Amino acid sequence: MRKVQNQLNKNNVPISVDGIFGSITLKKVKEFQMRRHLNTDRKVGPSTWTALYQTEFPYPGHVIKIGDRGMNVTRIQARLNDAGGSIKVDSIFGLKTQVKVKEFQKKFGLQVDGIVGPETWDILFNYQE
């Protein structure tokens, strides 16, 4: 159980690591499943287990938007380029990055707001080309 709790923390679903699969852990597993659009059965079956270990770059816990700078922006820009974009990877979330985020959101049926929140992040970093 500690492995599940540790992986929840790595995926920005904060939980105390106590090794007990109690009501708090059940709630946190369901939260994780909802974020990843998995069956919200609160069980750590094969799809949930895989998703817990799949994200190379877990969601940082806050939205990333125009004006932001740093490693998360670099990762977003690089991944947008992997998805067919052609923007400069400069760690600065400017207008060109915002446009590419909106294009990505539209392509995947997400809310088109140009902001990288948990849903956009999860699809950006977990979809298979």
- pTM exceeding the 0.75 threshold for the entire prediction: no
Amino acid letter for position 92: I
- Mean pLDDT across the chain: 87
Task: Output DSSP code: residue 11.
Answer: T
| pLDDT (0 to 100) of residue 23 | 93
Which tens digits make up the pLDDT trace of 85-111? 789 999 999 999 999 999 999 998 999
Amino acid letter for position 115: I
CB 17 within 8 A of CB 2: yes
